[in-house]
Chain A
Amino acid sequence: MNSEKIKYLAYKELGFSPCEHKYFDELLEQIVKVRGLSDEDNPIHKSKNYENVEALIGNINNFLQKYALRAGERIDIKPPEMTEENILAFEKFSTICK
């Protein structure tokens, strides 16, 4: 099974409808940006050789727990720095994903 298929099934298990998939991709990209991370930190980056659906969901969960939770503000993680562009992207995600 290729990476795209694994990602599709993982997003489906996470409760996203097909039309929401690309917005979740964008959300992960935005978190990478506002946290000052590199593209390779994104759990769905092409360099990530995720083995199966369960593993990918685990990676996404770990990433969000570390970088998206408010309670996850830790001294070893760069605080989020948001621009108008980032905020608009997040707002678009939260409008599309009901």
Chain B
Amino acid sequence: MRKEKKTQYKNYNAVLCMGAAENAVRSRMKRLGDVITNEGVSIENIMVLGAERKLWPLKKDGDSRSFPEPILYDILARRLTQRDGKTVLPEEVKEYILNLEIKENAVEKIAEEVAADKYFSSIKWPTETDLICEVIKQNPVFDAQKIIVVNTPDFPDGKRADSARTIKYAYKENSDIFVAGAKILQISSQPFTRNQKRVAELNLPSNVEIDVIGEGIDEGKSFEARKKDVMIGMDSMARTIYASYGKIKENILSKNMIGNEYRR
């Protein structure tokens, strides 16, 4: 969960590109670009595993997930330009949003409220899926690649799709890719590689091989920075187990172990 993880193979049937924040997506796509151009790795399908979560337009203190994503203003400006037939700059969009009176408090609700403003009427508010697609579009390395976009809907109760739901949805829509013996690459970063791999293993057929790569955690940090790393690492571990929990229970049942080996 700390050291860098590198590719094990030279050919993959698909790479799963996931991410909810611009910085992480940019760094993962850059890493994928390096793997293709500098390490001679061949990838048949680039799968964008996104979700319908609306991008947050404003910073809210105390919540590291909610930093505004600059790419949001770029996408909105382009869509407004197309709608109105005159050039709208990203800075203008940003300024407009910053001047809005926001009544909501929760980050997801802020996105809903801003998206509902009359200035954005008939504009589809950019989502997590748009973010990943946009970052890919900006990197010429991916121009010749086959891109498959999977736009996972939120949960029925409105919560944003998590990794498990996204991978399940990708499999449901593209089961022909995940055939026996297929090699699937995931791009992540530490301390999340274990979580990502575990979630994929539990939600894809067991005869598919999962490989995950990710940048390591920098050493030699300050006490406070190391403390933060520990908190993030523990959080990731807790999420790994939470995300696996339902599937593990299913596995135990399907192995028919209750009543014999797994019961007293």
Contacts and interface: CB of A to CB of B under 8 A. Distances in A.
Interface of A: 1, 6, 9, 13-15, 27, 31, 51-54, 57-58, 60-61, 64-65, 68-72, 80, 82, 84, 86-87, 90-91, 93-95, 97-98
A82 B241 contact: no
Interface string B224-240: 00110111111101111
Interface string B87-102: 0000000000000000
Contact of B235 (A27, A61, A70): A70
B241 A61 contact: yes
A35 B241 CA distance: 20
A9 B262 contact: yes
Nearest to B233: A94
B262 A91 contact: no
Contacts of A54: 249, 252, 258, 262
A51 B258 CA distance: 11
Given A61-B245, A70-B235, A95 B227 contact: no
Given A93-B1, A94-B1, 11 more contacts: A15-B201, A31-B234, A52-B258, A57-B245, A57-B249, A60-B241, A64-B242, A70-B235, A87-B223, A91-B230, A98-B3
Nearest to B202: A15
B3 A65 contact: no
Interface of B: 1-3, 5, 190-191, 193-194, 198, 201, 217, 223, 226-227, 229-235, 237-242, 244-245, 248-249, 251-252, 257-258, 261-264
Chain B interface mostly? helix
8 contacts: A13-B251, A15-B240, A57-B248, A64-B242, A65-B242, A70-B234, A86-B230, A87-B223
A82 B228 CA distance: 10
Nearest to A60: B241
B238 A98 contact: no
B252 A64 contact: no
A13 B5 contact: no
A84 B223 contact: yes
Contact of A97 (B5, B194, B238, B241): B194
A58 B251 CA distance: 14
A69 B238 contact: yes
Nearest to A14: B241
B262 A68 contact: no
B44 to A, nearest CB: 26
Nearest to A63: B238
A64 B264 contact: no
B217 to A, nearest CB: 8
Contacts of A52: 258, 262-264
Contacts of B249: 54, 57
A22 to B, nearest CB: 16
A68 B230 CA distance: 10
Given A52-B263, A69-B239, A91 B226 contact: yes
Contacts of A98: 1, 3, 5, 193-194
Contacts of B242: 61, 64-65
A90 B258 contact: no
